[in-house]
Structure 1
Amino acid sequence: MAGLSLRCGDCGALLKSVEEAQEHAELTSHANFSESTEAVLSLVCSSCGKPCRSKTETDLHTKRTGHTEFVDKTLEAAKPIALEVPKARRDDDAVMEDASTSQQPEDMVVPEVDQKLLVDLEEMGFSKARAIRALHYSGNSSLEAAATWIVEHENDSDIDEMPLVPASTKAEAPKPSLTPEEMKVKAQELKEKARKKKEEEEKRMEREREKERIRVGKELLEAKRIEQDNERKRIMAMRKAEKEEEKRAREKIRQKLEEDKAERRRKLGLPLEDPANVKPVAPIVEEKKSLPIRPATKAEQMRECLRFLKQNNKDDDTKVKTAFSTLLTYLKNVASNPDEEKFRKIRLSNAAFQNRVGKVEGGIQFLELCGFSKMEGDEFLFMPRDKFDMAVLVSAGTELDNAIKNPFFGVL
């Protein structure tokens, strides 16, 4: 009995022809096929006429559509299978010959285009090479198509190079379809269209640039606002810390006075005050240690330096006042005689300077904040004339005067 199908030995699928077997092999990579006397099923749905090739396909069709009636037309459609591969077309030999001849170099020539359209494009201001290229690639169809092609390809690097095509593809240019008057009108329309398109593009780019400028401006304003907020918070925190320090200093002095008063009464043999009449002393709340606030301005740095000097020498109030007074004298001399070098130069080894300022930790640092710097192997403190700043000296004098007169300065 002649074979009616091809069976795939890998998956068992039945195929009607060699072409189907080849497609199946390409899709699944199966290569084991054999001739079968079993015909491929042809089950046709009675309701919609859809053919199904297996029981699985009929089950799927029933699930999708609900159709359950199928007519078996397998025997009607069964035909012996042809196992021979279809012969290639006779034209293949000619194709091979053409391929071999195409490898030989051909003469390149300028393509023929509609001369009337070429003249019109040149009158519009386009170069001859550009006009020929546009007419060739737009198919010599119309002046509008050529002008549109030029607008779309005006940024091409070879737009003004003369196009060349093989001599075998040189075609006869089609005749123009418009009258000269219509072509002039069309050319004017194309020019206007190209001009409008360019204007719209420029407007669009300007809008984009304006949006970018607005965005950058908003970002700068927001950054400036955040910086101002941070600076305001920092100043408020410093002021609050100064008030708390002053409050604790007053409380400590008040407690010291109460203790001294009680000690004097004890030495004089007087009875102690009735605890009921003594106002309760509020306990000193220890300040939680936190990260120090870094002074931002020159005045704040000077104030912090003086506070550091007093706290490190709080047991010798006379020494601190002497250092403050000596620093103030140096600054007054410099401010009054800025051109006198002797007032802007201090010998570090000078005994009076060492006893009053040099040995006090923080004294030299304060002078450096005012503009002095060490020189000649750290033998002198010197303020160059170009470093003289009256505003800085005035600010330093104000801080020193406040430190001398304020009894609560740097107590804690």
Structure 2
Amino acid sequence: MAGLSLECGDCKALLRTTEEAQEHAELTGHKNFHESTQAVLNLICTSCGKPCRTQTEQDLHTKRTGHADFADKTAETAKPIVLENKPVAGPSVSGEGGSAENAPEMVVPEVNKEALAELEAMGFPTARSTRALHFTGSSNVETAVNWIVEHENDPDIDEMPLVPSDANTSIQSLLTPEEAKAKAQELVQRAKRKKEEEEKRMEKERERERIRIGKELQEARRIEEQQERQRIIAFRKAEKEEENRARLKIRQKLEEDKAERRRKLGLPPEEPKPVVAAPPPQEEKKPFVPLRPASKAEQMRECLRGLKQAHKEDEAKVKKAFQTMLTYIGNVARSPNEDKFRKIRLTNATFQERVGSLRGGIEFLQLCGFERDQDEFLTLPREKVDMVLLNTAGSELNSAINNPFFGVL
């Protein structure tokens, strides 16, 4: 069977042509080559189209990119080796023909000097930088860096590339240095503008979200105030009815006492005045409104009122308790992921002095979501942090601190 490749006897590398063998010999100094019936692998990555000549290259490519599907096109590219009666590698012995004299001189290819200097300034060796610029055929530094990263495990990565002297052409940049610098500045400015536009867009989104939340809180506060007014009106009406019933009882008691005194004095009982029966009071029919349970905001307000009324003799202590609870709530609202803000030790002397010893202080924190555990801690689990509830608690505390009439009525 005809040879399909040339195998290096020193490193076992398979080469497709005598030219590749010649280049391999000049780069490595290996001289022992022989024909092989094993074809050089041609494994094409179905994802990115990169060819891999060995199983090692395939494994490295899979490790770097995650691509695992390859198409084996070895049979399509395998061709018999044509030696053309010339030595593959090594110096020619005089008298064995003039093939060594006819072999082209191999030189280092010329690459873009500025790009090479920039790569060297980045810390890449000269050989790697030259290979990258030569094989990418470009003076683009980013493209060369990507090539170095992809081929960093190649066995000849640190060997200087060689090309025939007659085929060596200076790789000219498509742009002059001034144009390349202007292009780079343009790309930087474009990236900055894009970043600024993205930041402006995000700021607008955040502003819209703040406005939406503000409107929702304002509407919820309006509804709560309206319901509070309705409850006050109903409470005053009930107080008035209770007062009327008390007055009626007092009047009846006076009439009974008067009749008792006339009886003791031997006076005839006073003729009762004709009493005109008052029509039974007719209850005003109003549309039935189902009672709803008190909201969290109402419970918080009542808790704070009870605390102030229970300690009304020491307003400074009450105000300090309100400010301390506002600090606890504010810390959690600003940094909900901080565990230290969501955990309060009940036995802490400062906490006991300012909040724990006051009736209603711990109850208010529990209304905000804090839970009491067996280790004498008040803990607010992260998944139970309710920003709307914390904002409501903050509003109620601010009202209690700033409103001089809070808890008076």
Question: If the TM-score is normalised by the length of the shorter chain, which range does it land in?
Answer: 0.3 to 0.5
- State the TM-score, normalizing by the size of structure 1: 0.36
Which structure would you say has the larger Rg? 1
